[in-house]
Amino acid sequence: MTSLSGPGLRLTVYVGDSDTWHRRPLSTEIVHRAHAAGLAGASVFRGMEGYGASNHIHTTRMLSLSEDLPVAVVIIDTPERIRAFLPQIDELVTEGLITLDEVEVIRYTGRGADS
């Protein structure tokens, strides 16, 4: 397990739920690549409603049910490791938004870490 505390960098990739990479969900591909790169962790969050550069609103409301809900993939690690991973994100994301935010990691432990 990667040790992580203090200054970090949060990479957030905003894409659509229907975006794919070689017929695999794009969010899944990003998470698997982050894991293979040994990054500290990645999470995928599905939005209920949103819009982006296309200016088309996607929503879960029944009358206008969307097949392309917003998805955010969040990865946090050291600034060096995140920046080294950016070329892979650049390869995968052809439409969407990619942001970086400085964070301070207070605690990073997994299950059974106290054993």
Question: 114 pLDDT exceeds 70?
Answer: no
CATH of domain 6-104: 3.30.70.120
Greatest mean pLDDT among 25-39, 51-65, 96-110 lies in 25-39
Average pLDDT over residues 61-75: 76
**Res 115: pLDDT:** 43
Phi/psi at 42 (nearest 5 deg)? -145, 145
Phi/psi at 13 (nearest 5 deg)? -115, 120
How far apart, in Å, do the first and last CA atoms of the chain sit?
Answer: 14
Domain ranges of the chain: 6-104
Please write the tens of the pLDDT for every residue from 7-39: 999 999 999 998 999 999 999 999 999 999 999
